Amino acid sequence: MDYEKLCDEVLRADSQIRFTGILDAKGDLILEKNRDDAKLLSPDEVKMSVHYTFERWTRLQNLSYKLGKEKTSVTEYEKVTLISLHFGKNLFLLSTEPNVDYMKIISKTNSLISSFQK
């Protein structure tokens, strides 16, 4: 799968999307794409945020035998909304402007991911 093309297409799918990335099963950010004017965090802060996302996702796997696999997680902050989508053995990460219709963005992103998996 062409992760770079997928991240680019999701980034272009909605002007409210600031960042896209792929987090592998080991917690490494293997690819990231940003809107040029949308950086809130330094590279080290991005690593920290990704680490926290991976840590949260890993902890929640302990309950998956009861709840099923996590599909989507949304965290809203004052300045940004962070979204993670289960993506095979990876996580697809997005950040958006605050106060957006993130369900619409999640739906668009899932459609794009599905089209890339065919």
pLDDT digits (tens, 9 = 90+) for 75-115: 999 999 999 998 888 999 999 999 999 999 999 999 999 98
Rounded-to-integer distance, Cα 47 and Cα 100, Å: 24
Q: Mind listing the pLDDT tens digit for each residue in 8-28?
A: 999 999 999 999 999 999 999
Q: Which domains does the chain have, with CATH numbers?
A: 3-117 (3.30.450.30)
Q: Name 43's Cβ contacts closer than 8 Å, sequence gap at least 6.
A: none
| Global confidence as pTM | 0.88
Q: Mean per-residue pLDDT for 62-77?
A: 89
Q: How many residues does the chain have?
A: 118
